[in-house]
């Protein structure tokens, strides 16, 4: 991991712009993939109709304690809306390396600015105390040849702090934060990953031969009343199958608890970049 300053730093000012995107898994679909490399290993295809996330406190800072800028208020985003969406631009930042980028996902407020989301979305999010809300449907061809469809609407009240955000490796090195150049605009994407809810592990295995894959069969089984709608209470009632789901040492005995733990991992930085994650009120 490194923090560096490219040519053009060390004098003057520039800007840092933040956007968000849900990538193709949220905009289009999570497909079936029997190899487990790019979709559900158990044959399901999933489409999101809503992927609402509330971002607060986007901050540009440095490890020496300097704070360049902090976003006031919050943004309520629907990342099913196509394309990269603008969140905030900080101008007149010192041209330098800012190696401590952070942000929060926590409950929406009545004043959360709408980014692709609707007023009805905001009303629902505030009423439920939600920071994150996902809705959609998953489909699969049954053994008899017919189509099975399961819908879901799941809201989460979690508060999560994402700190020390790292860009994905470049030339074998992870880059901390961002770099503002004189007269330039650095663009950082706060990416949301819709596939994470369906991981079968809460932490990647130290053994590279043990892959993390996407599963939906057990979520479908959780539909105890067989009304084809999977609810949070049904997920909370079904114990994980430890032959398929690995809580990785965390307390997540049910599918509901398992998916709630995974909900904290949807936030990323510049695509595949990681941040340190902690719980906040």
- CA 272/CA 275 separation, integer angstroms: 10
- Residues in Cβ contact with 130 at an 8 Å cutoff, skipping those fewer than 6 apart: 52, 54, 107, 108, 124, 155, 156, 157
* pLDDT above 90: residue 145: no
User: So what's the pLDDT on residue 143?
Assistant: 83
Closest CA relative to residue 189, chosen from 96, 275, 74, 62? 275
Name the phi and psi angles at 225, rounded to 5. -90, 0
- CA 105/CA 131 separation, integer angstroms: 6
- CA 277/CA 281 separation, integer angstroms: 13
Residue 1 in domain: no
Burial class (CB in 10 A: 0-12, 13-18, 19+), 32: buried
Element at 119 (helix H, strand E): helix 119-128
Residue 201 in domain: no
Closest CA relative to residue 219, chosen from 242, 236, 204? 236
Residue 38 in domain: yes
Mean per-residue pLDDT of the chain: 94
Give how many domains the chain has, as a whole number: 1
* pLDDT above 80: residue 174: yes
Position 245 confidence tier, pLDDT thresholds 50, 70, 90: very high
Residue 241 in domain: no
Closest CA relative to residue 150, chosen from 225, 199, 220? 220
Residue 261 in domain: no
Residue 162 in domain: yes
Instruction: Write out pLDDT tens, residues 183-235.
Output: 999 999 999 999 999 999 999 999 999 999 999 999 999 999 999 999 999 99
Cβ atoms < 10 Å from Cβ of 40: 23
**What range does the domain containing 272 cover?**
13-194+267-276
Residue 218 in domain: no
Instruction: Write out pLDDT tens, residues 115-126.
Output: 999 999 999 999
Residue 203 in domain: no
* Contact (Cβ atoms closer than 8 angstroms) between residue 79 and residue 54: no
Placement of tokens 């894959």 in the chain: 213
Name the phi and psi angles at 214, rounded to 5. -95, 135
Average pLDDT over residues 253-273: 97
* pLDDT above 70: residue 172: no
């Amino acid at each position: 991991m490194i923090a560096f300053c490219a040519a053009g730093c060390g004098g003057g000012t520039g800007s840092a712009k933040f956007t968000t995107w849900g990538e193709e898994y949220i905009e289009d679909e999570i497909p079936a993939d029997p190899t487990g490399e790019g979709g559900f290993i158990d044959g399901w295809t999933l489409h999101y109709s809503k992927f609402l996330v509330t971002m607060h406190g986007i901050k540009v800072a440095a490890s020496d304690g300097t704070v360049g800028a902090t976003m006031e208020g919050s943004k309520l985003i629907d990342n099913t809306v196509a394309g990269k969406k603008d969140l905030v631009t900080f101008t007149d930042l010192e041209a330098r390396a800012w190696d401590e980028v952070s942000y929060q996902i926590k409950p929406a407020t009545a004043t959360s600015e709408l980014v692709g989301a609707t007023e009805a979305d905001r009303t629902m999010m505030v009423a439920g105390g939600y920071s994150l809300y996902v809705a959609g449907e998953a489909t699969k061809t049954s053994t008899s040849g017919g189509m099975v469809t399961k819908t879901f609407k799941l809201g989460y009240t979690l508060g999560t702090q994402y700190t020390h955000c790292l860009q994905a490796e470049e030339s074998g090195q992870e880059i901390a934060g961002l770099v503002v150049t004189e007269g330039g605009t650095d663009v950082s994407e706060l990416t949301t990953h819709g596939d994470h809810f369906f991981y079968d592990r809460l932490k990647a295995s130290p053994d590279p031969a043990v892959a993390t894959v996407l599963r939906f069969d057990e979520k479908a089984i959780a539909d105890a009343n067989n009304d084809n709608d999977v609810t949070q209470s049904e997920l909370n009632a079904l114990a994980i199958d430890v032959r398929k789901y690995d809580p990785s040492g965390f307390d997540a005995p049910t599918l509901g608890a398992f998916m709630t733990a995974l909900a904290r991992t949807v936030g990323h930085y510049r695509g595949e970049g990681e941040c340190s994650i902690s719980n906040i009120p």
